[in-house]
Amino acid sequence: MAEGFPGNRREAILVFHFADRVKAELILASRLLNTVMQMEGQEREGANRLFVDFLKGLEQEVNLAQVQIGDPEMIRVRTVMTGLIGMADANMLADIQSHLTWMISAMATYAQRAMEYLVKDKLI
């Protein structure tokens, strides 16, 4: 994450909004993944297709967040998100959780830094 990020009030508000929203959806994806992994047979196959579609929707949210956050590290977040879709599509579910955890941590860090800026600027 770039030093001195976010740089102004507007940026801090947008970063907090998008980072917190994506973080919440990543947590939901993590929970869905656990549910899918407990299923077997055709039930798991159908649930995995839904999980892939959920990840594709989440990828759109990550793309929006990348535009609004504008930090170079968001390129890595977006790249990992694209990889997760491919992994889920290939039914490589066991390898996905660690990547989701990293992404949750990255988005929480963005949200925290934005919150600190807003508190320091006495907007919250």
pLDDT tens per residue, range 15-24: 999 999 999 9
pLDDT of 69 over the 80 cut: yes
The answer to whether residue 4 sits within a structural domain is no
2, part of any domain: no
The per-residue pLDDT for 113 is 93
For residues 4-17, give the mean pLDDT. Answer: 87
**1 inside domain:** no
Residue pair 81/65 in contact by the 8 Å Cβ criterion: no
For the chain, how many helices (H) and strands (E)? Answer: 4, 0
Would you say residue 3 lies in a domain? no
- Which pLDDT band holds residue 3 (cuts at 50, 70, 90)? low
Find the domain containing 82 and state its range.
9-120
For 6, half-sphere exposure in the C-beta direction (CA atoms, 13 angstrom radius) is 28
The domain tally of the chain equals 1
pLDDT-derived band of residue 112, with 50, 70 and 90 as boundaries?
A: very high
